Chain A
């Protein structure tokens, strides 16, 4: 490949000459194209006669844009892109990954831990509420859900369109048990996970005989069944009204976040009353839960069961020929994924203080699945980035009030989020068909840990 950005003046001159020449041709072509469309326009005058309006000025602008655009493309843009590509190729060959890239996950965790103090320092205790709650907690819930679903879809390759059902089971387990029996959050959190895992197994038994599209449809139906049960079993779930007045979580029973409680956190530390402390507590809680999900996933991937999941994704028949019981392997993937969904669900209930079937519609499943696919199936970092982009992007759209100045006062940007999501997904899938992180980290190595390119891994078929 000839490098167009040579430093010799002769080459520079010839490049300019070529650019001028191409700009001239572009001008000619656009003249031919636009002279009748733009240069001349038929119109009616006051006496209803057909007249020909001549718009040479407009035509000149069109041609001018075409020529200047062509000139810039040939003279500057193309050499710049070629040079960048060449330098990137050269870099790949000789340098190792930078410090940030090598320690990305550690730095990311550190940044997440430091997020609330930094926000408080920047915008005060009361001002931090929006950032910690709307952005931090909201994104982390979806990161956790994405990581949970990743076990089922990304590792075991089982397409589950009804993941939100387990989220709902977790949320209602906490909501109902806490408001009926007054049990504490710390008892109900594991219980919600266990119940969700149990439902994962109940669903799993009949469903796991199915493969691919059939499995997807049945899981989708299961998600809807759970939602319809929640709506219609009004004696227990209070139907569409939902369960409200769900008790808040406490700091392991030491401090409470209820305003009236004697051991209120703010009172104990002589701080001014604010709901921000509770939100910050919840932020760290969901961060811990999400990190637990990631830790367990990383650990399990190196265990025989995790390898069996991935092998199942690659080839189920080969798995059976190696003596792996595929039914129990699928069931464990389903129920462990469901368990994390249940944890996230009970956290959701504690955070909202209110649950209703409306929070568990199919769209939620679709968003979680979209996060997993966008992030790159199986990749924890990719999924976290995808969740931050998708959920953070939605929240950011709410913030963009300046758009009202452009599009008028009736414009509500968040109504366009699905449109933007759609476009973004198409763009990402064209640009990176395997998601943000397409490659796979091997779980064991003899000499050297080499990432497996996404072109070898399969998406699973069952």
Chain B
């Protein structure tokens, strides 16, 4: 279970304030504010159509929000207004990386090449924007070797080292998910946004994913924001959960807190407001019996 003792001292890495996103007449996100703390795994959950992916797209610059502010504060203290940056700058300058709900790998490139493309900006600088690299200067060669080493590191972490030279499109589904995360990590992010990383994974692959995410948080200090439907993943690894419904935040706190929040239960089970109390009692009964069973 996540450690909760240290959360008080952690500073915030991403601050979303009064975020609203309107598509024509549809208010996809309505005045949403939340905070992700450095070194935490923050989960964004909610029923289908709650606006989770829209929040992601706003954070990563793929959508320009109608209103609101998204502030990313780096370890160095530098902060960026993400809503003002074009999408590629969000990754390049603000160090926010993302993955996609429907996997977007470069299927015709090999697994290794996928990870090298992710290091584009570092390598571009090292190659003197191609000119010096074409001349074959040693500085570029060194950078190229370092980029392969970095790729190898993440391939080992994601347990993909055996498939390094195969086309990415040839990997099984679970491996493609892990590769996408490894690729995002190769951009050197401080904040990693994962859109349903466990979707379509079997329990074993889900477990491997949990290990990978924990390793990312603990070994690189990268903070993670993830959208997830698989509650086993959310409750298992997240330190902090934000619950959305109809574009609004209905709950925010530790997994324990959120799990027992009547509003969340109502949102997921879909009950009338008057019945919420009853539901809570029922749930408490169930929880008690389960815990008794454990002991």
Show the binding face of A for B, using Cβ within 8 Å. Answer: 296, 299-300, 303-305, 307-308, 310-311, 313-315, 317-326, 332, 440, 442-450, 452-453, 456-458
Contact = CB atoms under 8 A, between A and B. Distances in A.
B127 A303 contact: yes
B238 interface: no
A370 to B, nearest CB: 22
B130 interface: yes
11 contacts: A305-B124, A307-B113, A314-B108, A321-B98, A322-B187, A323-B91, A442-B113, A443-B116, A449-B165, A450-B110, A456-B167
Interface stretch (B1-9, B25-33, B99-107): B99-107
A320 B161 CA distance: 25
B108 A321 contact: no
A260 B118 CA distance: 60
Given A318-B104, A324-B88, A445 B97 contact: no
B187 A323 contact: yes
Given A308-B120, A318-B100, A321-B97, A445 B164 contact: yes
A315 B130 CA distance: 22
Interface of B: 60, 62, 87-92, 97-100, 104-110, 112-113, 116-121, 123-124, 127, 130, 133-134, 148, 152, 155, 161, 164-170, 183-184, 187
B120 A444 contact: no
Nearest to B186: A322
A310 B88 contact: no
A458 B108 contact: yes
Contacts of B167: 452-453, 456
Nearest to A296: B134
Nearest to A329: B120
Contacts of A456: 107-108, 167-170
A442 B109 contact: yes
A435 to B, nearest CB: 14
A323 B121 contact: yes
Among all A-B residue pairs, the 7 with the closest Cβ atoms: A457-B108, A323-B91, A323-B92, A314-B106, A304-B123, A456-B169, A318-B104
A311 B117 contact: yes
A321 B127 contact: no
Contact of A452 (B92, B97, B110, B120): B110
A325 B108 CA distance: 20
Contact of A450 (B106, B108, B118, B165): B165
B101 to A, nearest CB: 12
Given A321-B97, A322-B117, A444-B113, A452 B104 contact: no
Contact of A311 (B88, B91, B106): B106
A88 B112 CA distance: 32
B104 A315 contact: yes
Contact of A448 (B91, B104, B165): B165
Given A300-B134, A322-B118, A323-B121, 18 more contacts: A300-B130, A304-B120, A304-B130, A307-B116, A307-B120, A310-B109, A310-B113, A315-B104, A317-B104, A320-B87, A322-B97, A322-B184, A323-B90, A324-B121, A325-B88, A332-B130, A444-B110, A444-B148
Contacts of A315: 104-107
A446 B150 CA distance: 12
A444 B133 contact: no
A261 to B, nearest CB: 37
Residue with the greatest number of chain B CB neighbours at <10 A, chosen from A317, A444, A447: A444
A307 B120 CA distance: 8
Given A303-B130, A444-B116, A444-B148, A321 B121 contact: no
